[in-house]
Amino acid sequence: MKSICSRIVLSVVTLITIYIIVLSVISCTNNNAQKDSIANDFDIIKSQGTLRVLTLSSSTSYFIYKGEEHGYEYEVISQFAADNGLKVEMIVADNMAHLMQMLNDSVGDIVAYEVPLTGDTKDEVLHCGPMRISEQVLVQRDINPIADVTELVGKDVYVEKGSKYEERLNNLNAELGGGIKIHHINRDTVVTEDLIEMVATGEIPYTVADANLAKLNLTYYNNLDIYVKVSFPQRSQWAVRHNSQQLAQAIDTWTAESYQSEQIRAINKRYFESSKKISSSSILSVADGRISEYDEIFKREANRIGWDWRLLAAMAYHESRFDSSVVSWVGARGIMQLMPATAVAFGLDIDSIAVPAHNVRIAVETLKSLDNSLQSVDNDEERQKFILAAYNAGIGHVFDAMAIARKYDKNAQIWYGEVEEAMLMKANPEYYNDEVCRLGYFRGRQTTAYVRDVITLYKYYCEKIPK
């Protein structure tokens, strides 16, 4: 009996030992597989050839303009991708919470957006890439600017209602013991960048914005002062999942080695330093019955589309001031500011893009194409305004504005005051995140001003110059 019990005990011990060994093997296998997965996350991305980039639409991160992708964060992450032989696939979220969810659901590989470095985000994601240190600043005109936030007592400051800028201003007001006159402009078409423009034009005295946004807008309005800080610095970086350690390491290594490269310096200069306004010049004298030295080209090409040649001339003035050497900050060239991709699509060699005759010819081909795409606008005169807007912004944004107009009870057949207003609404997240809006954020105020300015100048030319 004792012998039988001993054998039973031995068998049980043996089974337990085997079970422990099997569990250990499985555990080691799983751990090694997990380590391999973590170790090889960037290798997998490189083998697939595409980096899936998550971001939010904004003027500093990502947007579509003239049919092409732009944005500071977009261009920087694209440079990282190019340096590693990768293509970029941009995926746009509605808001920061959605952005983080999409990352952790593996919809994308990396968030190329300024994700604040806080205790909560550090638990949720792994930060990597360029470290940004920014703060909120006071935006004012550069004529007798105030030098300290204490001087805001008794001053009128305008901010978006419910924004982080209003929250900071309320806190600052409490810190100063009150006295700041905080105002809101509650219109769907007015966002922080519009308030900055209103400061530049003298319509309002002060607003508040993030330093990078203010710096970007300084390239549009050179009469601003953006140097008074109204908040503490906030650190931010890009973000990946915690199990994407090799991708994070690759981005950190690239940042250390390449972030001061000539390519990245050029991106910084393009977005935050170079003026985005065409140098002002007087309209060529029309006393002798001429608008520009290119009048004959405008007349010849206008016949091909059935437009008044003076309207082409008005476009050219606002595009380039009739300077064929102008290259815009997004790379548009020549007197009609053609994008290189557009020129190539219509069969024009890049080396010939700035030649005035070729430049105007392809511009007219573009206008003809836009006219065909906008035949749903019945009135010919109205359609011209839509075409001008599409030439300036890209037709996708015009289609978005028309869709917004229809959804919000505006007349999608009329530009002024109707689709024009809907275009302005595309700067507001409430509308550019709407399901009917396919291309997201757009700085529509430039396009609406362009249409009005071209039409105004065209009418002036009609008064002064015979057809």
* % of the chain with per-residue pLDDT over 70: 89
- Average pLDDT of span 196-203: 96
Q: Which residues contact 125 (CB under 8 A, 6 or more apart)?
A: 100, 103, 104, 111, 115, 239, 240, 241, 242
**What is the structure's pLDDT at 279?**
63
Q: Which residues contact 139 (CB under 8 A, 6 or more apart)?
A: 195, 196, 199, 206, 207, 208, 209, 214, 217, 224, 225, 226
pLDDT at 13 over 60: no
- Average pLDDT of span 359-363: 98
Judge whether 318 and 279 are in contact, CB under 8 Å: no
Q: Which residues contact 416 (CB under 8 A, 6 or more apart)?
A: 385, 452
**What is the structure's pLDDT at 298?**
98
| Closest alpha carbon to 196 in 154, 225, 228, 172 | 225
Q: Domain 295-464, what architecture? A: Orthogonal Bundle (1.10)
- Output DSSP code: residue 283: P
pLDDT at 202 over 50: yes
**Which single residue is written with the structure tokens 């806190």?**
171
Separation between Cα atoms, residue 302 and residue 84, nearest integer Å: 46
Rounded alpha-carbon distances, angstroms, from residue 230 to 194, 345, 440: 20, 48, 30
pLDDT at 223 over 90: yes
Q: Domain 42-119+241-272, what architecture? A: 3-Layer(aba) Sandwich (3.40)
Same fold, 136-232 and 295-464: no
pLDDT one-digit tens code per residue, 89-117: 999 999 999 999 999 999 999 999 999 99
Judge whether 412 and 405 are in contact, CB under 8 Å: yes
Q: How confident is the model at residue 285 (pLDDT cuts 50, 70, 90)?
A: low
Domain ranges of the chain: 2-36, 42-119+241-272, 136-232, 295-464
| Closest alpha carbon to 204 in 219, 176, 182 | 182
**What is the structure's pLDDT at 258?**
92
pLDDT at 22 over 80: no
Q: How confident is the model at residue 283 (pLDDT cuts 50, 70, 90)?
A: low
Q: How confident is the model at residue 286 (pLDDT cuts 50, 70, 90)?
A: confident
- Average pLDDT of span 249-256: 97
Summary mean pLDDT of the chain? 90
pLDDT at 387 over 50: yes
pLDDT at 36 over 80: no
Compare 443 and 28 and report the one with higher pLDDT: 443
**What is the structure's pLDDT at 2?**
43
Separation between Cα atoms, residue 189 and residue 431, nearest integer Å: 10
Identify the CATH number of the domain defined by range 136-232: 3.40.190.10
pLDDT at 47 over 80: yes
